Amino acid sequence: MKCKIAAVIMSCITSLPTIASEAGYLLNPDKALVPASKQHWQDDQKVMDTFISDLISRMTLAEKIGQLDLQSGFRNTTGPYVNDAYEQQIREGRVGAVFNAYGADFTRELQKIAVEETRLGIPLIIGHDIIHGHKTIFPQSLGEAASWDPEVARMGARVAAIEATADGIAWTFAPMADITRDPRWGRVSEGAGEDVYLGTMMAVARVQGFQGEDLSQPDTMMATAKHFAGYGLSQAGRDYHSTDVSELELWTTQLPPFKAMVDAGVATVMTAFNDLNGIPATGSRRLLTDILREQWGFEGFVVTDYTAINELVPHGFARDEKHAAEIAFNAGVDMDMVGMTFIGHMEALVAEGKVSESQINESVRRILEMKWRLGLFEDPYRYSDPARAEREILSEQHLDMARDAARRSMVLLKNDHQTLPLNADSLNSIALIGPLAHSRRDMIGNWAGAGDRSEQPVSVLEGMVRKLEGQVAIHYAPGATYAYLHDADSEEAHIRGKGVSRMERDDPRLVSLFQEALAVAEKSDVIVMVMGEEERMSGEASSRVDLMLPGNQRQLMKALKKLGKPMVLVLMSGRPNVLDWEDEHVDAILHAWYPGTSGGHAIADVLMGEYNPSGKLPMTFPRSVGQVPIYYNARNTGRPYDAGSENPRSQHYTSRYDDSPNTPLYAFGHGLSYTDFEYGKVQLSSHQLKTRNDELTVSVDITNTGEYSGEEVVQLYTRQLVGSTTRPVKELKGFRKIQFAPGERKRVSFSLRSDDLAFYRADMSWGAEPGDFHVFVGSSSDRVQQAEFTLVDK
């Protein structure tokens, strides 16, 4: 089958048919996919309109307002539940949707109340945060993006939808498509990183995985494009903080993933917590009506984030919650998540003429349309299927798919002296050390849906023992903790890694952990350290100012280093960390993110060479937190620093640091392999590209010069040298992930058209400008081969 994912990407991914578009679509806001209602919702519009119009005509104002209300269930050790007052609200028709509710039997009970015990019997939409898996947990979203393979993201969402829909859930609050450049922000773990092209590809693939080709099928669910918009640029990396974003930045990096998801038929859009240039996103008519509906033609409904309407008051944008409800609804919000401002104030707002009932009818129609498209009016219990849940959830096939996704997501950051893969034939024993080495709860990361944290996840220790049982002895010790010291002087020494502090020497528990780890290491051939952040250290409300590995982990590594044995660091975290000491002193570093339910098996596969790592970084790793924000596609300065200058003095008054190189520790797109790939010279089909009906082929010969089969992510970047607005030093325009046998050479080609070079010009119009370009092909943003061409106006 033939398909295209923008002409710039010459690969054919047959399992992602609806990404198909004309060249440049992903960055072009004026091009759309097929209409969402025809491609994804598969409904007879006339029949649906007649049914919903009749239903609305029979609803009271209170019942209409109830459809605009989304309430949360509760959870305890026995599972989700709702209290008596909540059940009564449902019976009164004051709840249109419920989240934090799952389980086939429990959701059937809730649906039964709505359908059989209310006047009109309107079914509920039941949702949950299905971010990277329901009960079979796939890698954290940032890790999935590190695969540089949209199919990994699509299949993760597909499996999540299959499991969640059997468990009563028809709506997920994903994908998060916020483009971000600040690793201090905890929610980087929930997105796809710093690049709009890669982020858009992943977001669209996830929408397709959740929604499939027909939303009425019982194993598909509504996706939510979040957070609209600008949330990823929260100032100082602090969650829920303000954002100050220029029009150029807004349209260039923040809005394109949302436009692409709208074109791909995403069912719902969630407002962001932040204010955007002084206007809270939840109260922005420009975002929610002018852009989303009128300019982009969005057909689904808009839901707020958790209590976002209420928060218009502390934002200083509304006098009280009644005023907040008025602002948000008139801006374009259809459904209030948890805040109950519509329930509490909408009738009064209608009576006062501040909100019209016809507006309410439109919002109710959008919500009822989605209930129709989900098939809930046909069969309200279709998503509560105990037999299917028993068959599908945590099936062997799903666990195997999660294992493969985890392997594909891992990034080999460093591998000196071919330390990895480990050779079982030449080893007698391995020291497995670190607080994450045998932690099941941390394997699945944050936002792990209904995933079990205690029994189901496979730890690294369990994966290694299973892999090497009877061949190599595994000696385990946790060795370190995440806790910082509380004495100011000791804490400073601790954070800067100046050795074991007095307080630690006096702590018997820490002394015991250290001694145990050193003893285990002394009797082993190689040291494998599994370290990083516990899962609660990233995600929502988990911003950090210190990006080094927390607690005394680095101190333990320093002590282990003195033993003179090969050292491997398996890193687990949900963000880029500062790894300057680790990069200098550890022999090999494998970033495993939070790899999911089958993560321990996947890590063992990679460490022992049964899978050759192929992941690439979706975010830049800084040398120091002082470099943040740091990202590959920055615009150039009028005084650029030239690290290769023969006259260092001439570089003094340039854009640089006195105490650090400008360059990151690991660049965007970086990722090694157990084999080596040699890139030839970039070849162009022409050195001129015309602005109309022309195509430039960019080719490079790549050879696997090593001893292992492996996949390489070949990356295409461009740079326009002069523009009406200053242009980035590099922009990702395409990538291909290709398998090579040892010694195999392949010619890899990309196609560029003028549309692929378009940008927002000085007058904020979208289009290409003639001029000179550099084109780069390589294994990462900082390891490329270069050629030149000119775009001519013809």
Mode of pairing for the β-strands spanning 731-740 and 710-720: antiparallel
Which residues on neighbouring strands pair with residue 563, listed in sequence order? none
Sign for the CA dihedral angle at 497, 500, 506, 511 comes to: positive
Length of the chain: 794
Under 8 Å between Cβ of 668 and 617 = yes
Under 8 Å between Cβ of 191 and 177 = yes
Instruction: State both tokens at 413.
Output: 């950051």
Which residue from 722, 756, 699, 674 is spatially nearest to 414, judged by alpha carbons?
674
Under 8 Å between Cβ of 609 and 674 = yes
Q: Give me the long-range contacts of 31-36 (CB less than 8 A, separation at least 24).
A: 31/263, 32/263, 32/297, 33/263, 33/264, 33/265, 36/262, 36/263, 36/264, 36/265, 36/266, 36/299, 36/300
Rounded to whole angstroms, the Cα distance separating 527 from 557 reads 10
Tell me the HSE value of 599 on the side-chain side, using a 13 A CA sphere. 34
Rounded to whole angstroms, the Cα distance separating 44 from 37 reads 10
Under 8 Å between Cβ of 713 and 736 = yes
305 a catalytic residue: yes
> DSSP letter string over 584-631?
HH-SEEEE--S--TTHHHHHHHHHTTSS------SSPBPSSGGG-S--
Tell me if residue 283 falls in helix, strand or coil. helix
Instruction: State both tokens at 386.
Output: 């105990």
Which residue from 480, 453, 478, 415 is spatially nearest to 599, judged by alpha carbons?
453
Which residue, chain included where needed, has tokens 């500062």?
Answer: 578
Choosing from 149, 195, 305, 334, the catalytic residue is: 305
Tell me if residue 217 falls in helix, strand or coil. coil
The CA-to-CA distance between both ends of the chain, in Å, stands at: 34
Tell me the HSE value of 426 on the side-chain side, using a 13 A CA sphere. 7
H helices of 246-340, in order, are: 247-249, 256-263, 285, 321-331
Under 8 Å between Cβ of 125 and 119 = no
Looking at this protein, which amino acid is placed at residue 333? V
Which residue from 454, 474, 455, 456 is spatially nearest to 464, judged by alpha carbons?
474
Tell me if residue 240 falls in helix, strand or coil. coil
Quote the Cα angle for 743-418-613, to 5°. 65
Tell me if residue 759 falls in helix, strand or coil. strand
Instruction: State both tokens at 65.
Output: 């307002």
Tell me if residue 677 falls in helix, strand or coil. strand
Mode of pairing for the β-strands spanning 69-72 and 97-99: parallel
> DSSP letter string over 401-466?
HHHHHHHHH-EEEEEGGG--S--GGG-SEEEEESTTTT-HHHHT-SS-TT--SSSSSPPHHHHHHH
Residues catalogued as catalytic = 305
